[in-house]
Amino acid sequence: MSNNTINQFITLLKKYFKIYLAISISVFLFIMFFQPFPSHKFESENKNLFIAGYGLIIFIIQLIVQIIFQRHLLRNNTDEEYNPLLNSLYYFSQVALTSLAFVFYTRYVGNTGITFNIVLRVIVISLSVPVTIHLKSIFSSMHEKYKNLLEEKIIMQDKLKQFSESYANKFVELNSENESDNIRIQVSEIIFVKSADNYVEVGFRDGGEFRKKMIRNTLKNIEKQLKEFKNFVRTHRSCIVNIQYIDKLNKNFNTYWLTLIDTKETVPVSRQYLMAVKDLF
């Protein structure tokens, strides 16, 4: 056995040792309390030792299966393609070897005749091994995905902060057909822009207070003006929102809308733009 193989075995053993030990102890305690297999032929001390043998069998079988499927277990830790056949064979081997070992142990060490009832109990207990390992694998995968999502969220928040800081001191002039209604405003102060017939309604912060103003223009023209600023997102054919003011996405049946920070305003979200909005969370 090469040093690389030994190191791989030790790595996997460290990863699975706790779960192997937990399963073995659980099986020992289950058999001790519920006594699914006859052990009346043994005295008290020998009886406990006999039952402990089942737990030891579970532990040894798990190590044997780990050695057999070493490469498969290592592959599951990489980005290589998932192989359902190998995975099924891995779990089946645990059940088959454990059941076989339990039957021989019960028959020749426990001096007990093997009946259909005993075989059925053996199989049920043996099934607990792959089920436990599979559940552990699922929970570990979910935890890893959750961890990755948190990291992605932090990255997105940092990007948003960079956007906000980048545009904090930039101004834009939102034009109106009536030039006296033009708005020269700091980009970071714009909260939303809504279409209203031949006008657009601009929601913005002014000295820390929320204000709204109507200007005669189209949402399409305003969108072109704001296109260079990456902190704006289209949520509806009638609305554009500054993402730094989004509080949360709400849903009622098939209707979606956004609530905004520091305002009582709501912004509709259409299906056309729903995925882009969801990607912000």
122: left (phi over 0), alpha (psi -120 to 50) or beta: alpha
Q: What is the pLDDT of residue 95?
A: 93
Asked if CATH classification 3.40.462.40 holds for the domain at 168-278, the reply, yes or no, is: no
Structure tokens at 31: 């058999």
Strands (E), 182-280: 183-186, 190-196, 199-206, 209-215, 232-236, 239-242, 246-252, 255-260, 266-269
Q: What is the pLDDT of residue 166?
A: 61
Nearest to 91 by CA among 136, 36, 30, 142: 136
| Rounded-to-integer distance, Cα 231 and Cα 161, Å | 10
Q: What is the pLDDT of residue 277?
A: 85
CB contact at 8 A, 31 and 53 = no
114: left (phi over 0), alpha (psi -120 to 50) or beta: beta
Please give the average pLDDT of every successive group of 10 residues along the chain, which has 281 residues: 66 78 91 83 77 92 84 56 77 93 91 90 92 86 87 76 65 82 86 90 88 90 86 91 89 88 87 86 71
Nearest to 183 by CA among 156, 213, 208: 213
The structure's pTM equals: 0.53
Half-sphere exposure of 94 (CA within 13 A, CB side): 26
Q: What is the pLDDT of residue 79?
A: 43
How far is residue 189 CA from its own chain's centroid?
35
Q: What is the pLDDT of residue 163?
A: 62
Every domain range in the chain assigned CATH 2.40.50.1020: 168-278
Q: What is the pLDDT of residue 116?
A: 92
Nearest to 59 by CA among 115, 19, 20: 20
Which residues are CB-neighbours of 66 under 8 A, at least 6 positions away? Answer: 9, 12, 13, 16, 73
**Angle at which helices 44-68 and 116-167 cross, to 10°:** 50
